[in-house]
């Protein structure tokens, strides 16, 4: 597994030296590695090796992996151990089935309950997205900002239960954006987010819900096309060997 350290930690420090829960630190570190693609689908995650690398005992590593398994980032199979859970067309389809309804609800509620601070945060995220969309080198940053934009709308919904339901989906959304973002689509995505922002700012709950559904449907189509093409390409070598 590739080496990494917690963001903001001095060079050479291990997670064991941080002044936070070791379980939470390990959880966040491994989760981030999965989200940003350093740990791709199917890669084994060996408890013993990870403990040595991060400078902690195996207990917080085991607890972190159990939490990640619950959230769908880690899968465990008998005789195979823990590995990064797949994120292919089937998994993405299930994700979007849920996301379409919950994000539409969040947008509708946000339009009813938006306050000045929340709107200002959305404006800042839109501005960051516009700047990143103009540079292909900032594609990963753009995907992160887009995910932050959607998270902020959930916060602005003012519904704690909805926030709890959406929280486990946030990491999967970031992971999907990282895997399937196309730099050329950045301006289009920004335009759709600006339309959604305008509906929320104007307090138009019906329009916000409608735009959110349309936006998620469009993202779904693009994501499924890319993931399907990737899955097909991955199967070609095996097919060639059998013929």
DSSP state of 81: E
Q: State which of 84, 113, 131 marks the end of a domain.
A: 84
Cα separation values, 214 from 107, 138, 161, 195, Å: 12, 25, 24, 11
Beta bridge partners of 82: 76
CATH code, domain with 105: 1.20.120.530
Based on the fold, state whether residues 118 and 218 are members of the same structural domain. yes
Q: State which of 32, 61, 84 marks the end of a domain.
A: 84
Domain with 116, as residue range(s), is 89-233
Contacts of residues 182-186 at CB distance under 8 Å and 24 or more positions apart, as own/partner, are 182/222, 182/226, 183/136, 183/139, 183/142, 185/222, 186/129, 186/132, 186/133, 186/134, 186/139, 186/142
Average pLDDT by consecutive 10-residue portion of the chain (243 residues)?
40 50 92 92 94 95 94 90 92 93 98 97 96 80 90 97 92 86 79 97 98 95 90 66 48
Global confidence as pTM: 0.79
Please report the pLDDT score of residue 12 as a whole number: 41
Q: Which residues contact 133 (CB under 8 A, 6 or more apart)?
A: 142, 186, 187, 189, 190
Please report the pLDDT score of residue 217 as a whole number: 94
Based on the fold, state whether residues 94 and 188 are members of the same structural domain. yes
Q: Which residues contact 15 (CB under 8 A, 6 or more apart)?
A: 5, 6, 9, 22, 25, 26, 29, 54, 55, 56
Based on the fold, state whether residues 201 and 145 are members of the same structural domain. yes
Based on the fold, state whether residues 132 and 69 are members of the same structural domain. no
Number of folded domains that form the chain: 2
CA dist 240 and 232 (Å) reads 12
Beta bridge partners of 94: none
Please report the pLDDT score of residue 184 as a whole number: 67
CA dist 51 and 60 (Å) reads 8
Q: Is residue 239 part of a domain?
A: no
Q: State which of 84, 105, 123 marks the end of a domain.
A: 84
Based on the fold, state whether residues 58 and 109 are members of the same structural domain. no
């Amino acid at each position: 597994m590739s080496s990494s350290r917690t963001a903001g930690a001095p060079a050479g420090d291990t997670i064991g030296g941080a002044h936070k829960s070791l379980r939470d630190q390990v959880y966040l570190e491994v989760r981030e590695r999965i989200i940003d693609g350093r740990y791709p689908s199917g890669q084994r995650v060996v408890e013993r090796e990870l403990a040595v690398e991060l400078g902690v005992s195996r207990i917080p590593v085991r607890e972190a992996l159990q939490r990640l398994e619950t959230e769908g980032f880690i899968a465990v199979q008998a005789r195979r151990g823990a590995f990064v859970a797949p994120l292919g067309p089937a998994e993405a389809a299930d994700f979007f089935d849920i996301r379409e309804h919950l994000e539409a609800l969040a947008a509708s509620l946000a339009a009813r309950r938006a306050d000045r601070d929340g709107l200002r945060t959305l404006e800042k995220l839109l501005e960051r997205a516009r700047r990143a969309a103009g540079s292909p080198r900032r594609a990963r940053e753009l995907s992160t900002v887009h995910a932050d934009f959607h998270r902020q709308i959930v916060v602005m919904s003012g519904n704690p239960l909805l926030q709890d339901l959406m929280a486990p989906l946030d990491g999967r959304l970031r992971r999907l954006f990282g895997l399937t973002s196309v730099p050329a689509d950045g301006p289009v995505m920004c335009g759709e987010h600006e339309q959604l922002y305008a509906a929320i700012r104007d307090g138009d709950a019906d329009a916000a819900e409608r735009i959110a559904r349309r936006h998620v449907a469009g993202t779904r189509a693009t994501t499924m096309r890319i993931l399907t093409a990737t899955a097909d390409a991955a199967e070609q070598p095996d097919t060639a060997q059998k013929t």
